[in-house]
Structure 1
Amino acid sequence: MINYNENFINESEHDLLNRGFLYGDSVFESIKIINNKIIFWEDHYMRLMSSMRITRIEIPQNYTPEFFRIQILNTISKLNSNFSGRVRLSVFREGGGYYAPSSMSPSFIIHCVITESNNFFIKNSDFKVDLFKDYYVQDNLLSNLKTNNKLINVLAGIYSNENNLDNCILLNNKKNVAEFLNGNLFIVNQKKIKTPSLDSGCLNGVMRKKIIEYFKFFPEYNLEETTISPFELLSVQEIWLTNSISGIVPITSYRNKKFTNDFAKIFINFLNKKVADH
């Protein structure tokens, strides 16, 4: 029996006690859709399968790229015959057991939301950020995964709202830069590009992966996955927030420092061309 906000519900009638809800025993993908085209689907699928293997969630034989592609397309078609928006594909271990699961079998949920914009674009508005230092990302493999364990990100989001910020930069347990609360971080200084390495504890983001991959088309730039100190942020020309939904979001201010977005504009135009050809 379940008491849900003073309403008594028979446990067998609702899957409220799934392990994704009870223990955060779940992995997920946030996916951009443009005119029914699933953007970077192969990369999302491979990351999902890798996350399931690492978290030891069973991978059924029917969980193929084509199976999930059809499931996503069938879901978005219920909203719009020519869908553009975002999809969250969540896979969670089925109910049973307490901390130790009694089953490794998965279930999945697909949730879709229509959005106004199709292509990636840069907003003509300020985007102010600061450090979040109440809690720290751990520099281990689990932090690289996109799981339901996102309490630090939630608290950073609350901190942002309370302090009139648009986002926060999360630090790892060594007090180095890890990521933004909802994306990866890149810094641009002249022809040098840096992003926190995966051993910093940052998310192994799909957009991060694609940006690193696409820098081969910009041979005049040197990209490095490395350790970034918070102090280094004050000496660069551009800071980017990157994720699969927004693409690249240039930061306009961090503390008293103002940033440009010249190279971000160039790169996001290139990104849109790659997506159109994808």
Structure 2
Amino acid sequence: MKLPIHNRAFHYNDSFFETVMVVDGNLRFWRDHQARMREAAEALRLAIPAYFWNGELEDNLLYLARQHNSSKMGRLKLKVWRSGGGLYTPQTNEIEWLATAEPKQAIPEAGLIIGICQGVRTCYSSLSHFKGPHAPLYVLAGIEKQNKDFDDMLLLDAKGNVSELISSNIFWLKQGELFTPALETGCVNGILRRNILRWSQQQGIAVHQVIAKPEALLQAELVFASNVTGIRGIIKLENHTLPLDNERLQALKAGLQV
């Protein structure tokens, strides 16, 4: 594959991406992915072609998954960027895109041990709710995770409030009510996050999108991470052991079919 030297994703990160799971020949949560792509396109002022919405792109992504033995369970990555050249001021709002596919194993059942990231903080903006523009932040958090030998890192916002993990949203249950950081903390508005909130409300579970310090996690009955690959319990934060209500965790997984 060759990209032109003026590629705007390379020069300016003028782009976004979606990670989509293929399960049993279907794009899981595809309508939610389409909704987030619309949101990203509006924020970046990108002109997305009609075939992104009318079924043509979906058919082509599933064909790609079949060609790469990823139809039973696989992960697709769709990268979308502004075409043309220009400096900060672009020449066009039209797009180019690239999709890749690879087989994926089910995520482990073992609980996560996480640390609190010290090197970077999340920052709320009109671009922080979708994937791509703030990617270097997560790269640096990933390096810190590697150096400190944690499974993941808890990212805080500029005021020290809980925001998210490196590639997952974070939730906790307390007294039967569900809590997750508000988008104002700079967290990504994850696809599974949307579905967890929707399902919980349908089940009559009180849902709160909050501004909270890390200490709130220590008082919870269950803390878990979610992204499009699935849900995993969190069993330890730094040196603090967290309770794991496995019955509730499994009920959530069953309800969402992840």
Indicate whether 1:225 and 2:209 are aligned. Answer: yes
Q: Is the 8 A contact 2:77 2:99 kept in 1?
A: yes
Larger mean CA deviation between 146-155 and 32-41 belongs to: 146-155
Q: Is the 8 A contact 1:45 1:65 kept in 2?
A: no
User: 1:191-270 maps to which residues of 2 (within 5 A)?
Assistant: 191-219=176-204, 221-245=205-229, 247-259=230-242, 260-262=244-246, 263-270=248-255
Look up the equivalent residue of 1:133 and give its one-letter code. Q
CA distance in 2, matches of 1:202, 1:74: 32
CA distance in 2, matches of 1:107, 1:190: 48
Corresponding position of 1:100:
89
Greater Cα radius of gyration, structure 1 or 2: 1
Cα offsets for 1:171-214 (capped at 9, x unmatched): 11222111111011101122121101112211011100000000
Larger mean CA deviation between 167-176 and 252-261 belongs to: 252-261
For structure 1, list consecutive stretches of 5 or more residues without a partner in the other structure: 1-12
- Matched-pair identity in %: 26
Give the C-alpha shift of residue 126 in structure 1: 4.3
The number of equivalent residue pairs is: 255
CA distance in 2, matches of 1:228, 1:40: 28
Cα offsets for 1:32-79 (capped at 9, x unmatched): 101211101011011101111111011223332412101201211212
- Partner SS for 2:50: coil
Gap change, CA 1:42 and 1:154, over 3 Å in 2: same
Q: CA RMSD in A?
A: 1.8
CA distance in 2, matches of 1:226, 1:44: 24
User: 1:31-46 maps to which residues of 2 (within 5 A)?
Assistant: 31-46=20-35
Give the C-alpha shift of residue 215 in structure 1: 0.5
CA distance in 2, matches of 1:142, 1:133: 22
- Partner SS for 1:62: helix
CA distance in 1, matches of 2:159, 2:71: 46
Larger mean CA deviation between 146-155 and 45-54 belongs to: 146-155
Q: Is the 8 A contact 1:31 1:38 kept in 2?
A: yes
Give the C-alpha shift of residue 140 in structure 1: 2.3
Q: Is the 8 A contact 1:153 1:182 kept in 2?
A: yes
Larger mean CA deviation between 80-89 and 178-187 belongs to: 80-89
TM-score by length of 1: 0.86
TM-score by length of 2: 0.92
Moved >4 Å (runs of 4+): none
Corresponding position of 2:169:
184
